[in-house]
Amino acid sequence: MAIESIGQVNGATNATNENSNVSQDEFIKLFLAQLNSQDPLEPLNNREFLAQLAQFSALEQTRQSNDKLQSLLSMNSSNQALNLLGKTVQVNLQSGSEFNGTIEAVHYDANGPTLTIKSAEGSFIDKVSLSRVTVVQQ
């Protein structure tokens, strides 16, 4: 899930290539395959074995940190959306035009918070992502 924030430039997020990341299960499979196919007359050096175990431990810690960071970013995005309630904002629409109005509601779905904005004339736009908000006024 891509986490959005106010004024985020579209396309500026770091996209990860799923094929370039080795999961924990893949690492264990590779590690066990290496142990199973090693030469019994020349077993794996203890130092190499410990280094690989340390890499595995670091990989797991990094994965857990990334999960926690993702949760933190999601909470921050929700907090930003809730803090916008009742504020006047300027929004860039997909058509390239701008829309000015007051945040009337915040909705949550699988992609994170979206906003409902009411203009001074009384028209509404719905499902506006935080990244489309460019100016926030009191």
Q: So where are the chain's domains?
A: 22-83, 88-137
Q: What is the distance between the alpha carbons of residues 29 and 7, in angstroms, rounded to a whole number?
A: 42
- At 68 the pLDDT is 92
- At 58 the pLDDT is 87
Regarding beta strands 124-129 and 112-118, do their DSSP bridges make them parallel or antiparallel, or are they unpaired?
A: antiparallel
Neighbours of 89 (CB within 10 A): 20
- At 21 the pLDDT is 63
- At 11 the pLDDT is 45
Neighbours of 134 (CB within 10 A): 12
DSSP 3-state assignment of 96?
Answer: coil
Residues 6+ apart with CB under 8 A from 15: none
State the CATH architecture for 88-137.
Roll (2.30)
Tens digits of per-residue pLDDT, 101-116? Answer: 888 888 888 888 888 8
- At 20 the pLDDT is 53
Residues 6+ apart with CB under 8 A from 86: 102, 103
Half-sphere exposure of 81 (CA within 13 A, CB side): 26
Which residues of the chain are under the pLDDT cut of 70? Answer: 1-23, 44
Asked whether the whole model's pTM tops 0.75, one would answer no
Q: What is the distance between the alpha carbons of residues 95 and 99, in angstroms, rounded to a whole number?
A: 11
The letter for the amino acid at 66 is: N
- At 6 the pLDDT is 64
